[in-house]
Amino acid sequence: MSTSLRISTVSGIGIYIHWTFWLLVAGVLGFFYYEGGLEAASMGLAYVAAIFLCVVLHELGHALTAKRFSVSTRDITLYPIGGMARLERIPEDPAEEFWIAIAGPAVNLAIAVLLVLTLTAAGVSAMPVEPLVVGVGFFANLMWLNLALVVFNMLPAFPMDGGRVLRALLAANMSDYGRATQIASNVGKGMAILFGLIGLFTFDVILLFIAMFVFFGAQQEAQHAMMRTITHSVSVRQAMMRRFATLAPDDTLADAVEELLSGSEQDFPVVEDERVVGMLTRPRLMEALQQQPRDTPIAEVAQQACATVEDTAMLREAFDKIRQADCSTVPVVRDGKIVGLLTMENVGELMMISSALKRAGNREDMEVMLKRARGNDASADPKQLPSAGDGHESRPPGAAPDIAPDSRNT
């Protein structure tokens, strides 16, 4: 998170501020100072701080509720348009997704109720006032802003919480999670088009921005649902890359450069006796080339393989490992020996193929298509499958690298 500043940690969850957030702070300070001087600028800064404290509490509502369902949160980041809690996975149980999604708006509603009760007890009006007026009505305005956050976040459109609530309610009454997502996504796109039309006719730039935000959020969620459906029905063995190059621990940086330039792979497993002992990623290779001579052994610069997955696992399990370990490439093993590689690019290609078949009206099952493409029956006995060394070239330590053809079409 080089573009974000860590400001706190709550229950093991790091809270960050993205660099663009400071642009908002500068803009608010400039606007309020221009309108009312230094006191107004101070009030504007207080509003920004209070609102984004409420946003942090909103995101913590999601994160801590997710934790109750054994779903970890990687971090919370504040952006000018709001906050984002990065969950490691989306719960498969619609009830769990419902409670996680609704927890955030519930926090803002609780804040608003607490503020209105406090104002009533103090005999202060809860009606909104001019924000430039210092001190007067600050908490009343904050109460209404929290209610606005509740309404906005509960719009039934992705990526707002309301879209996830709608999807959870639909999925609870439908057997097809992907279909539930598609319906919720279409509702969101419809709302985005409506917002866009209103924005065009009223020359409202903010509403146009919201329309684009909602439209692309709905589209992205539909793609994620397609990925989820695919990864549930396809095994790692079917999706893995079988033709790949490896490096030995005593190969050199020069050998790695030759591999990188000769093929399309970006990350290379470091293999000894057919077992993965490390990974050399392209960023790590570039870093090593700047700091080490070209005859440096790979063993001195390779990183530990962040995760491995068995070829008999379902793609969903592997995909979760990729996300949780933040890896770009995961070695696939059988009995501890490498038999393939799985990358996010593999998953992306599966999505493109599935989308193309769907648009063409092809009803052929994705799994059957993959069996034919790979020439592999996923239900076959593993003993009848290629040996651990098949699909890539092995070589004696120190020998010149031989480039194996890459199976990816990019």
Query: Please, where in the chain does CATH 3.10.580.10 lie?
Result: 236-384
Distance, in Å, from the CA atom of 78 to the CA atom of 54, rounded to the nearest integer, reads 11
pLDDT tens digits, 85-142: 888 777 778 888 899 989 999 999 999 999 989 888 888 777 766 665 555 678 888 8
pLDDT tens digits, 291-328: 888 888 888 888 777 677 787 777 777 777 666 666 77
pLDDT tens digits, 195-240: 888 888 888 777 787 788 778 877 777 766 666 666 666 777 777 7
pTM value is 0.62
Q: Which residues pair with 276 in a beta bridge?
A: 271
Tokens of 15: 């809270």
The pairs formed by 348-354 with CB atoms below 8 angstroms and a separation of 24 or more are: 349/408, 349/409, 350/227, 350/230, 350/234, 350/239, 350/315, 351/223, 351/226, 351/227, 351/230, 354/226, 354/230
Q: Which residue from 174, 130, 164, 136 is spatially nearest to 36, judged by alpha carbons?
A: 130
pLDDT tens digits, 63-86: 899 888 888 888 888 877 677 888
Does the 236-384 domain belong in CATH 3.10.580.10? yes
Task: Provide the 3-class DSSP secondary structure of residue 78.
Answer: strand
Distance, in Å, from the CA atom of 239 to the CA atom of 224, rounded to the nearest integer, reads 17
